[in-house]
Structure 1
Amino acid sequence: MTMTSTMPLSRRTLVTGGLTTGFLFAFHLPLRAAVNEPVQPPDVTEGKFAPNAFIRIDEAGHTTLMMPQVEMGQGVYTAVAMILAEELDADLSQVSLEHAPPNDKLYGNPVFGLQVTGNSNSIRAWWTALRNAGAGARSMLVQAAAKQWQVEAASCTTSKSVVMHKESGRTLAYGALAGAASSETPPKNLTLKKPEDFVYVGQSLKRFDTPDKVNGKAVYGIDAILPNMKVATIAFCPVFGGKVGKVDDSAAKKVPGVQKIVVLDDFVAVVGDHMWAAKKGLAALKIDWDEGPNAKISSKDIWQDLRAASEKDGAVAKSTGDIAKALATGERLDASYELPFLAHAPMEPVNATVHFKGDSCEVWTGTQIMTRVQSEAAKAAGLPVEKVAVYNHLLGGGFGRKLEPDMVIAAVKVAKQVDGPVKVIWTREEDIQHDVYRPVYRDTIAATLSDGRIVGWKYKVSGSAVIARWLPPAFQKGIDIDAIDSAVDMPYDIPNFHVEYVRAEPPAVPTGFWRGVGPNNNVFAIESFMDELARKAGKDPVEFRRPMLAKNPRMLAALNLVAEKSGWGEALPARVGRGVCVQPSFGSFIATVVEAEVDDLGEVHLRRVTSAVDTGIAVNPDTIVAQLQGGLIFGLTAALYGEITIDKGRVQQSNFNDYRMLRINQTPKIDVHVIKSGEAPGGIGETGVTAGPPALRNAIYAATGIALRRLPIDRALIAGKKA
């Protein structure tokens, strides 16, 4: 059984009620920063039943659910609320959501131990913990009711925030039980619902943050407003690592609304009454930059260094069988694949509002890593962590960029020079040219074929170790676990298998997480190479993959479904091709087919995209479909246009004119088929991003016969070529 949805939703449908929902669900976010007070930990909240860090029920029966993960467009608030409400048996019409305050102990992601949102693991990491939280609270409420009625707890049931005793017909609402339940002891052994008893989980509920995003009430970090707040914008040296030299601010001070010029060691900020004054004042500054030692670095140098590094032996991440013997027999194919630097370019540029008061500091922002922002803000402010309060907001896109605290550190430094609160906003140009970029990668592969199947596979990935910087304890024995993700656990059954990793850091350029990182590199290389091997073996790409997936039934089922739904094998016009990609990334099994046309000028026209996904229990199938659609568009955009280039130590791209996004008229029909599954949930936020580029590359290969081995797509190379 599959659940199917097709994009796009028309604007007419949107305007005439396509986003209505049958549930009344209060989504409480601060309309202004001044009213976004820090939330007390549930264990010290008075007058409420607070059995754990996630649930509070007051005597009026209102339920507040604390969100341990952040909402950046992926629908996690809706999914988290559905999981908690499911096991709690809460009435959704009496529920509201709140951002969790920074607290690793209470809200640390079970995988990382940090209060962090990323790695497509919000649901798969929290699935059990959230269910236990809901079930534990429900059990305490039932115990309180059973004691009051003097009956066995096992004879009581719950539904929509009410405890019921069927035999006597008595009922008690959760609000009426809040006081008594607070003195109950949480049970050690919890009974969780069976999937067939789910009321909310598995339903396509409309997202709870949608209404306020439609009517304009949603508050992002950039929307924070405080009394007497100033606005600042910022400029770093255009060369990586450069410093401020001399600053002539005479013209800037004459700009109406400019209040102050802040000159620090590594950046300059202009503070004004509003953003326009700050922006005009910054443009009027005359800055002599000390460009430092990185002013000669170029993309050519970076690629030359990476290619040289990729020739070295790497740390062995996984090895089975006899790879040397396997590579010495059969038909051999060697190839290398390369991916460029990429910027995040979220719709909401990075920003933070800070009120530094000397002995304390408050921060309003949108971040994926609350506690790290708090600790780094404390360092910048010169204060103890407990003197820094951080209030999180909705994120207008994260994609890994807001796993970094740099925007908050800079804002605190500015705020220390300003009386009263100041909002620091990076312009789009500053955001793109001072990002923390997806690393450049080079992958080398050697494989041998025997009887049309792969018998030997040697894979080496070379590139930056993001984990080594971001989470040092996870970097062990020279292996970056993110860089090899989807390489060591590729889905195919290959008897002789060897994977290595070479750490190769680009000079000066900061690298970080970018909506997939290691998987979107490795899946591109692996799946591109699979199509080349299929051609060498004289086989259809889907048929070539099937026998090697026999021991991976979930992956094989997704491949078979996507082949059926995409019309795989049906005749196509000249210079039109279909490309396939399979991947087990982020705990989900997804197969994707892209159908594309390549015109004689080398322009690529996306005709259709089809995906089939087994992501385990689908908490909210509608959100899964939306995530895959958005992720596919994000990844296809990168494949077609995405590249950050360096010249004289400077990023050459600056805005959407030269760092292109896929236009709405270029977006194809996207069909997503969600396979019904009883397995634990997998991740979904990054799977579409990872799936799109290799499937597109393979479609171009089928249409033109040109085996592209580097992104973005080289239009000159595929122009006018015949298959």
Structure 2
Amino acid sequence: MSQGLLDAQNGKPLDAEAARFTRRTFLQFSASAAAMAGGALILGFSLPARSQGDARKSVIGGDGVETPQAGVLEANAFVQIDKSGQVTLIVPKVEMGQGVYTSIPMLIAEELEVPLASVTVDHAPPNEKLFSDPLLGGQLTGGSTSIRYAWEPMRRAGATARVLLVGAAALQWGVDPASCHAENGAVIHADSGRRAAYGDLIEAAAKLPVPQNVKLKDPKDFRIIGTAFKRLDSPEKVDGSALFGFDVRLPDMVYAAIVNCPVFGGTVASVDATHANKIPGVRRVVQFDNGVAVIGDHTWAAKRGAAALKVVWNEGAGAAVSTQTISRDLAAASQRAGAVARKDGDVNRAFGAAKSRVDAVYEQPFLAHATMEPINCTVHVRPDGCDIWVGTQVPTRAVDAGVKVTGLKAEQITVHNHLLGGGFGRRLEVDAITQALKVGKQLSVPVKVMWTREEDIQHDMYRPCYYDRISAGLDANGKPLAWQHRIVGSSILARFAPGAVKNGVDPDAVEVAASLPYDLPNQLVDYVRQEPNAVPTAFWRGVGPTRGTFVVESFIDELAAHAKADPVQYRRDLLGKSPRALQVLNVAAQAAGWGGGALPKGRGRGVSVMNAFGSFFSMVAEVTVERGEVKIDRVVCAVDCGMVVNPNTVEAQVQGGVIFAITAALYSEITIERGRVQQSNFTDYRILRFHEAPPIDVHIVKSGEAPGGIGEPGTAAAMPAIANAIFAATGKRLYRLPVGNQLQTV
């Protein structure tokens, strides 16, 4: 996801006034922000966000419990404290493995002065007005923004609740609030030894005026933030009680196996369901625009029925699309000038003064998400309403899909959001939800629509393939005087948030490439939009930074080799104006033993530096190449992501991102022939195996800056480090991914 600020309603960038939101912006509390509901203190707060969507009826999770006072409090989130002292936090972000259901409660617990174990979490209902993320302009989870979004608002909510509770106790005791303090879920008056539990104070606290601009803790006083806590959701995921979309079970529910048109953009011409209808357990066969669903009493019946179908397809123009035609079109598009994303100095003049010039072309393939939980969605469409059970990164867009397909009103659509078995951007899309609704409209009972792994991979929304032309003019010492970078590829934002594309520039496509940490006095970065005919593209664990960092850091490494300079020192010499980037580079290089002596033949180290998602990364990969096979021996990463909430989460996210990157760099590629994806399962869309995963050392650089993102940067920084290590080991420069059989002669 791009880091740009977008209006949730029209995808346009926020105006100057709205865009002044920062992590330090004070919350706007209303007089009614504290209230009693069902014997609990409800604390609401609002952010200066632009989105003004209507409140929508919903439930929290899949258990049918309605949101406390939903649509009544003008809040961005709710903190609820009941009479037992239990704190319930309604989190606007979804949990898909990144740990936000632990880290965000830590923010509340820190300022509220309660043990983390006292905080429970519920999914937020779809409501743009209450739960919009100002960093993204909507209620969605992506762009590594969850902690950046929550950092100050959640702490301030906890601090405000604490001040109210302290004030209530002081009023009851007739003492100065300054003589009281909160500790471990209670208010204590040290002079008299009196103590009152939070649960005993909620009625009195709800009657007090809400304080404005409460003081937050000094970081030196943090006791929870910055401490390594185990994931709160791990026990449920281990014992199987955690509920994902695939776990939904409803009375009278039937199961649907999907057969999508194998060709992009194709539709159904005719269906022969004779054999399918004879299979025991098959109820019926339903058709929609680009596919067929077999409805069964259970999964096996539906799947067997789907295999027995005989479908004739209208393949359409998509049947002419192939990887070769797409690559040809990208190469041709790279010959024309693009929309300017960055222009500094006089590039043409600098090239004229250069002593040498280096040119390169980089290519990167389509990539599937291949989440461990394949696509699924359960719906129950009725004349008077519709329920949707799904794991989604965009709950309000799920409601919008319901409105569009069923014709019902938004308030008649109920979304039951679940834990996500992997997202990576795939569940930012509602194509599968829309499809499930089209099937559900034709039935009178709940239906669980499931995609097989084959359907999931062959009908994904893919990370775009890209084609980059990049050139540098160097002085006599090999330092860059001129830098020109042309990016050619699909624009995801043109579809997802069209207002974000300004003057022809997709800010996600040029991210990193147009904001390098290096001192480059003359540079020109432009973007040429070239859509792959019929192939749907989407976000994939940091699209712009992922593709951009591979190109830039591979090319910087090539310039170092051209200058016969050490790759780390070459970067150091260009990072004088970016001290945070320089620091992570130094930490990573030292931890990896860079410069500690030559490695054996066939082994090499590679390095990368990156600034994206508000964080700074440097990564060193060490590899062995033998008979054309690459083994990743070790990865060392230095991370400056600002103030750290949970070091365990940071380490886990970096490690997961690196493994994701190794998979992509070595193996992953979606290829197309006659409009059909050729890969179908993990047999030919290979995922890194357990025994192939290297040791990954994560070094967190202490920082007093506001938090940056952590979910996606590790993936982006790892790919070029691996490619550069392969060059160090073999002398072969990689200009395209995956590595595949490019090293067979090495």
- TM-score by length of structure 2 reads 0.90
What are the equivalent positions in structure 2 for 1:267-286 lying under 5 Å apart? 267-286=291-310
Does the aligned pair in 1 maintain the 2:83–2:202 contact within 8 Å?
yes
The whole-number CA distance in structure 2 between the counterparts of 1:126 and 1:646 is 41
Which residue of the partner structure matches residue 52 of structure 2?
Answer: none
Which residue of the partner structure matches residue 46 of structure 2?
Answer: none
Shift of 1:43: 7.0
Is residue 572 from structure 1 mapped to residue 599 from structure 2 by the alignment?
A: yes
Alignment CA distance shift 1:620-1:646 (3 Å): same
What are the equivalent positions in structure 2 for 1:162-241 lying under 5 Å apart? 162-241=186-265
C-alpha distance after superposition, 1:230-281 (max 9, x if no partner): 1111111100110111111111011111111111222110111111110000
Which residue of the partner structure matches residue 399 of structure 2?
Answer: 374
Does the aligned pair in 1 maintain the 2:62–2:389 contact within 8 Å?
no
Which residue of the partner structure matches residue 26 of structure 1?
Answer: none
Instruction: Tell me the SS of whatever aligns to 2:696.
Output: strand
**Counterpart AA for 2:613:** F
Does the aligned pair in 2 maintain the 1:38–1:391 contact within 8 Å?
no
Shift of 1:185: 2.3
Does the aligned pair in 2 maintain the 1:41–1:53 contact within 8 Å?
no
Shift of 1:201: 0.5
Which residue of the partner structure matches residue 364 of structure 1?
Answer: 389
The whole-number CA distance in structure 2 between the counterparts of 1:33 and 1:161 is 26
Instruction: Tell me the SS of whatever aligns to 1:627.
Output: helix
C-alpha distance after superposition, 1:80-101 (max 9, x if no partner): 1101111222232322111111
Which residue of the partner structure matches residue 413 of structure 1?
Answer: 438
Instruction: Tell me the SS of whatever aligns to 1:594.
Output: strand
Is residue 674 from structure 1 mapped to residue 700 from structure 2 by the alignment?
A: yes
Which residue of the partner structure matches residue 40 of structure 1?
Answer: 68
**Counterpart AA for 1:73:** G
The whole-number CA distance in structure 1 between the counterparts of 2:322 and 2:644 is 46
More moved, 346-355 vs 166-175: 166-175
Instruction: Tell me the SS of whatever aligns to 1:343.
Output: coil
Shift of 1:51: 8.4
Identify which of 580, 597, 603 aligns with 2:624.
597
Which residue of the partner structure matches residue 10 of structure 1?
Answer: none
Consecutive unaligned residues in structure 1, runs of 5 or more: 1-31
The alignment covers a number of residue pairs equal to 684
The whole-number CA distance in structure 1 between the counterparts of 2:120 and 2:729 is 51
Shift of 1:669: 1.2
Is residue 634 from structure 1 mapped to residue 660 from structure 2 by the alignment?
A: yes
Does the aligned pair in 1 maintain the 2:517–2:611 contact within 8 Å?
yes
The whole-number CA distance in structure 1 between the counterparts of 2:295 and 2:169 is 59
**Counterpart AA for 1:37:** V
Shift of 1:413: 1.2
Alignment CA distance shift 1:180-1:33 (3 Å): closer
Is residue 335 from structure 1 mapped to residue 363 from structure 2 by the alignment?
A: no
Shift of 1:137: 1.8
Instruction: Tell me the SS of whatever aligns to 1:584.
Output: strand
Which residue of the partner structure matches residue 563 of structure 2?
Answer: 537
Alignment CA distance shift 1:166-1:42 (3 Å): farther
C-alpha distance after superposition, 1:479-537 (max 9, x if no partner): 11111111111111111122111111110000010001011111000000011100111
The whole-number CA distance in structure 2 between the counterparts of 1:285 and 1:586 is 47
The whole-number CA distance in structure 2 between the counterparts of 1:711 and 1:691 is 14
What are the equivalent positions in structure 2 for 1:600-679 lying under 5 Å apart? 600=627, 602-679=628-705
Instruction: Tell me the SS of whatever aligns to 1:544.
Output: helix
Does the aligned pair in 1 maintain the 2:61–2:418 contact within 8 Å?
no
Identify which of 468, 492, 509 aligns with 2:518.
492
**Counterpart AA for 1:505:** E
Does the aligned pair in 2 maintain the 1:34–1:225 contact within 8 Å?
no
Does the aligned pair in 2 maintain the 1:42–1:56 contact within 8 Å?
no
Does the aligned pair in 2 maintain the 1:51–1:137 contact within 8 Å?
no
The whole-number CA distance in structure 1 between the counterparts of 2:78 and 2:350 is 53
The whole-number CA distance in structure 1 between the counterparts of 2:547 and 2:274 is 48
Is residue 326 from structure 1 mapped to residue 353 from structure 2 by the alignment?
A: no
The whole-number CA distance in structure 1 between the counterparts of 2:296 and 2:656 is 37
Which residue of the partner structure matches residue 393 of structure 1?
Answer: 418
Which residue of the partner structure matches residue 35 of structure 2?
Answer: none
Does the aligned pair in 1 maintain the 2:61–2:122 contact within 8 Å?
no
The whole-number CA distance in structure 2 between the counterparts of 1:113 and 1:523 is 25
Shift of 1:34: 6.5
Does the aligned pair in 2 maintain the 1:34–1:226 contact within 8 Å?
no
Instruction: Tell me the SS of whatever aligns to 1:301.
Output: helix
Identify which of 531, 534, 540 aligns with 1:514.
540
The whole-number CA distance in structure 2 between the counterparts of 1:626 and 1:93 is 21
Alignment CA distance shift 1:104-1:33 (3 Å): closer
The whole-number CA distance in structure 2 between the counterparts of 1:55 and 1:42 is 13
Which residue of the partner structure matches residue 581 of structure 1?
Answer: 608
Identify which of 683, 701, 708 aligns with 2:709.
683
Shift of 1:452: 3.0
Instruction: Tell me the SS of whatever aligns to 2:553.
Output: helix
Does the aligned pair in 2 maintain the 1:38–1:389 contact within 8 Å?
no
Which residue of the partner structure matches residue 464 of structure 1?
Answer: 490
Which residue of the partner structure matches residue 433 of structure 1?
Answer: 458
Instruction: Tell me the SS of whatever aligns to 1:490.
Output: coil
Shift of 1:446: 1.1
RMSD: 1.5
The whole-number CA distance in structure 1 between the counterparts of 2:118 and 2:620 is 43
**Counterpart AA for 2:368:** A
The whole-number CA distance in structure 2 between the counterparts of 1:496 and 1:152 is 62
The whole-number CA distance in structure 2 between the counterparts of 1:329 and 1:125 is 46
Does the aligned pair in 2 maintain the 1:244–1:289 contact within 8 Å?
yes
C-alpha distance after superposition, 1:405-430 (max 9, x if no partner): 11111111111111211111111111
Identify which of 276, 288, 297 aligns with 1:252.
276
The whole-number CA distance in structure 1 between the counterparts of 2:378 and 2:392 is 12
What are the equivalent positions in structure 2 for 1:118-133 lying under 5 Å apart? 118-133=142-157
Q: Identity over the aligned pairs, expressed in percent? A: 53
Shift of 1:125: 2.2
**Counterpart AA for 2:215:** T
Instruction: Tell me the SS of whatever aligns to 2:321.
Output: coil
Consecutive unaligned residues in structure 2, runs of 5 or more: 1-59
Shift of 1:325: 1.0
Shift of 1:44: 5.1
Does the aligned pair in 2 maintain the 1:42–1:51 contact within 8 Å?
no
C-alpha distance after superposition, 1:39-92 (max 9, x if no partner): 2346759xxxx9872200112211101111010011111111101111222232
Which residue of the partner structure matches residue 47 of structure 2?
Answer: none
C-alpha distance after superposition, 1:650-684 (max 9, x if no partner): 11111101100011111111111111111111101
Does the aligned pair in 2 maintain the 1:42–1:53 contact within 8 Å?
no
Does the aligned pair in 1 maintain the 2:655–2:696 contact within 8 Å?
yes
C-alpha distance after superposition, 1:553-587 (max 9, x if no partner): 11111111111111112221111110001101111
Which residue of the partner structure matches residue 471 of structure 2?
Answer: 446
The whole-number CA distance in structure 2 between the counterparts of 1:34 and 1:420 is 18
C-alpha distance after superposition, 1:116-173 (max 9, x if no partner): 0001111112212212222222222222222222223232211222122222222221
Shift of 1:228: 1.4
**Counterpart AA for 1:560:** N
Which residue of the partner structure matches residue 546 of structure 1?
Answer: 572
Which residue of the partner structure matches residue 44 of structure 2?
Answer: none
Instruction: Tell me the SS of whatever aligns to 1:35.
Output: coil
The whole-number CA distance in structure 2 between the counterparts of 1:561 and 1:250 is 66
The whole-number CA distance in structure 2 between the counterparts of 1:43 and 1:257 is 43
Shift of 1:188: 1.9
C-alpha distance after superposition, 1:186-212 (max 9, x if no partner): 222221111111111000000001011
Which residue of the partner structure matches residue 333 of structure 2?
Answer: 309
**Counterpart AA for 2:78:** F
